[in-house]
Structure 1
Amino acid sequence: MVPQDSGVVAVRNILTRLCKRSGLSSDRLRTTEIDVAPLLDLLAVRQHARRHGIAPEEAVLPVVKELAAQLEPTNRLIADAELSLGLLRENATTAVDLDRLYAADLGERREYLTEHWRLLHETLRAERIPPPLSVRSLRATPERRAFTALAGLLVNESVYDAGSVHPAAAVQPQLSTEHRSVPTVPGVVTVFGDAVIDHIYFVDHIPEAGTSTPGNSFEKHPGGKGLNRAVAAARLGLQVRLISAVGDDDEGRHVLDYLRSENVDTDLVKVVPDAPTPVTAVMITSTGAAGLIGCRDDRIRLSARDLRSAAIRAAIAASNAVLLTFEQPITVIEQVMALVRRLDSRPLLVVHPSPPIDLPQYLYQYLNVVDYLAGTSKDLAAMVPEVAAASTSDTAQRLRALGVRSVCATEDFRCTVWSDLVNSQIPAFPAAMEDSPGAAAAFAAALVYRLVSTRRPAEEDDYIWATAAMVATQSFGDVPGAMPPVSEIDRIVRLASEEH
């Protein structure tokens, strides 16, 4: 049930009043005596206006249409007809009289809606058709319920604007002046994962329960598994889009500004009103070992409904590779895998199964679309919790039997691979630290870079290069800031070859 907060009530009342006469239009918003300021100031409206360079009055109608289309059939029909949105103009049968459904007079629209109640529901293929209504009964609870539901979407949700993303250019970020020297690769990558603010504490050791440790220093940077992978891929010259969620606060704006400065497209980052951007406390020791504490608001999440966005579907279809972490709800992870599987020409799917999820068995039906599954031994073992694996190799073979094409165990700057082409432990590179919080992100991005560049399955040299990318992240502090360019990875590979 949609919360009856003051924002929802205010927007519902505005929409109800705008139904009169010819319905909702930009001209009506400019000339009406109704106070429409709460409607024009909605986050989704401001986002759409900014993306398209138009006035808020012009942005309201496309935003309302986008969200009204997500309502259940009865509420959708009521909102569509009474606001005269025109949602049925493109796919209605000839039996529907569109001139009457979207007539200039509200009374006539209501009459047609009630007279042809079953026909209109059947046009939307509604599974359940409520009993027919009279105009009088329509104006009571049904209208109030429909406009409350629509107002709830407008107030509480960010809108992915399908009009802002063309499938042929779904991931074409504008390069910032700072990074124009990065050579671009003819490859498009879409990343699903979190974007947060990392609070980084440098400590001598990670304290055990009941103990404490002095902090040596503190920093604050954008982070998150999704953000780190997006930045890492962009620094290698790939065209990258991040699909994630942040709050509509200063921290969220900082995250978005940072991503844009790193040439990561943010058009499909969901901005959630009145919710704080997630914060992760990261404790890093002098050896590079890290401990994490994640603090998040459950509202800062993608949802299965978000994955129905035409813009997100277009971004996936236009990608050469999709990077997916397990930071989002399992329903979102399932939807991403299902969308990839349905494509005739599908992108490579590279999955990092972290953090662990409950009941990973629900994902087993989709594992045959996973091209590369990369994580620590614990991450991989968590994917098959019903069996006590004798070794990481045993775990990898079970995952391969479930359909995963290549399994990579990555930790401590090392990589072991099980695939059709490669079954070996990649020789370790010399390292000064034991681990790095950014190593896993660098490995995934570097592997995708090689895959997209060569347009073939990964060979041993590709895994060697991706392992070198992990070593290149040895650094304190800013994790995405430690993501290496191609030249640094090449340098590490060259040095290792010279030593041998």
Structure 2
Amino acid sequence: MPANVVVIGSLNMDLVTRAPRLPRGGETLIGHSFATVSGGKGANQAVAAARLGAQVSMVGCVGNDDYGVQLREALLVEQIDCQAVSVVEDSSGVALIVVDDNSQNAIVIVAGANGSMTPAVIDQFDAVLQVADVIICQLEIPDATVGHALKRGRELGKTVILNPAPASRPLPADWFASIDYLIPNESEAAALSGLPVDSLESAEKAAAQLISMGAGNVIVTLGAQGALFANGSGYQHFLAPKVKAVDTTAAGDTFVGGFAAALAAGKTEVEAIRFGQIAAALSVTRAGAQPSIPTSSDVQAFKPA
């Protein structure tokens, strides 16, 4: 079946350590455990969309190493179309992740093969984009490629989602007109808008600023405080489902993938947000990135704590 969600983005091998707390500068801690887990924001969102009901294609690059083989196989197991996952002469991307006993994490990313994602790669696989309903991008590949993908998605008349992660500065001004749904977290909303985001009220101001810059709709994910949906018609706050968190890794990716899958299935924006929230809530009750992502059946069976 043709893909109805295409994810353009990163594939990383996550090197995950659990420790009592996050280390300070110059400090060595004794960790609890270590694991290698398939990840990358692009691949995580592809897996989430697939498990949550969408037909998915992935556009990305892996290295010619063992990690590259494992990353590609992890997608194929989820029945994700990988014709546009290229193998390049480089090491695969990695993410070094420390998770503390309070389920908070600190992450360092090395792009590796993800840096080979050029606009030419998007053009090479344009046929994949043409059959999509929804196109998702993030910021773990070069900015020029993201901007090219967003504009091509708009030219093709697709629903375009940008999860601006990781973001430390404003987006190029000409990107906004191509974005149907901009989905930042609190820190990303602050970086993009130039406004502090530390409450629901400040999130509304940041969202209004991003809409004034040209984004069609903005969803600010607020962790345990839920999510704020904003557009030219106003704001709506969605409370977060109550769960006991174990590991917040990939919660944002799960929300994005679930939201996209629901939109592609014809759900309303409100239904898609609630579906994504339940999926994200379930993911934080489990350890790891892709291993924590639930299925549609899990979401349907969910009962809040």
Q: Residues of 2 paired with 1:403 and 1:447: CA distance?
A: 21
> What is residue 458 of structure 1 aligned with on the other side?
269
Matches within 5 A, 1:56-455: 171=3, 188-273=4-89, 275-297=90-112, 300-309=115-124, 312-343=125-156, 346-356=157-167, 360=171, 362=172, 364-385=173-194, 391-413=202-224, 414-420=226-232, 423-433=235-245, 436-454=248-266
C-alpha distance in 1 between matches for 2:247 and 2:222: 7
Contact 1:442/1:469 (<8 A) preserved:
yes
Alignment partners' CA distance in 2, 1:244 and 1:418: 30
State the alpha-carbon separation in 2 of the partners of residues 422 and 254 from structure 1.
44
Identity %: 21
Letter of the aligned partner of 1:242 in structure 2?
M
Instruction: Decide whether the 8 Å contact of 1:223 with 1:479 is kept in 2.
Output: yes
For the pair shown, the structure with the greater C-alpha radius of gyration is 1
CA distance in 2, matches of 1:285, 1:472: 19
- Paired residue type of 1:316: L
The 2-side partners of 1:231 and 1:209 are apart by 34
In structure 1, the gaps of 5 or more residues are: 1-168, 172-187
Figure out how many residues of one structure are paired with residues of the other and give that number: 301
Q: Measure, in 2, the Cα distance between the counterparts of 1:462 and 1:257.
A: 29
Alpha-carbon distance in 1 for matches of 2:299, 2:101: 23
Determine if contact 2:161/2:182 at 8 Å carries over to the other structure: yes
Instruction: Tell me the residue number matched to 1:489.
Output: 299
What is the alpha-carbon distance in structure 1 between the residues aligned to residue 113 and residue 298 of structure 2? Answer: 38
Shift of the 271–368 alpha-carbon distance from structure 1 to 2, 3 Å rule, reads same
Q: Deviations over 1:354-387 (max 9, x none)?
A: 1126552x2x2231221111121111122234x6
> 1:375, 1:410 within 8 Å by CA — same for their partners in 2?
yes
| Partners of 1:412 and 1:358 in 2: CA distance | 21
Tell me the secondary structure at the aligned position of residue 283 of structure 2.
Answer: coil
Structure (1/2) with the larger helix percentage: 1
In structure 1, what residue type is equivalent to 2:283?
T
Contact 2:92 2:114 in 1 (8 A): no
Q: CA deviation at 1:410?
A: 1.1
* Distance of 2:223 and 2:53 partners within structure 1: 26
Superposed displacement of residue 470, structure 1: 0.9
Whose RCO is larger (CA < 8 A, sep 6+)?
A: 2
Question: Within 1, Cα distance between the matches of 2:245 and 2:293?
Answer: 16
State the Cα distance separating 1:260 from its structure 2 match: 0.5
> For residues 373 and 328 of structure 1, what CA distance do their matches in structure 2 show?
17
Gaps of 5+ in 2: none
* Residues 101-141 of structure 1: per-residue CA shift (max 9 Å, x gap): xxxxxxxxxxxxxxxxxxxxxxxxxxxxxxxxxxxxxxxxx
Aligned-CA RMSD value: 2.2
Relative to its length, the structure with more strand (as a share) is: 2
Q: Which amino acid aligns with 1:483?
A: I
Is the 8 Å Cα contact of residues 272 and 299 (structure 1) preserved in structure 2? Answer: no
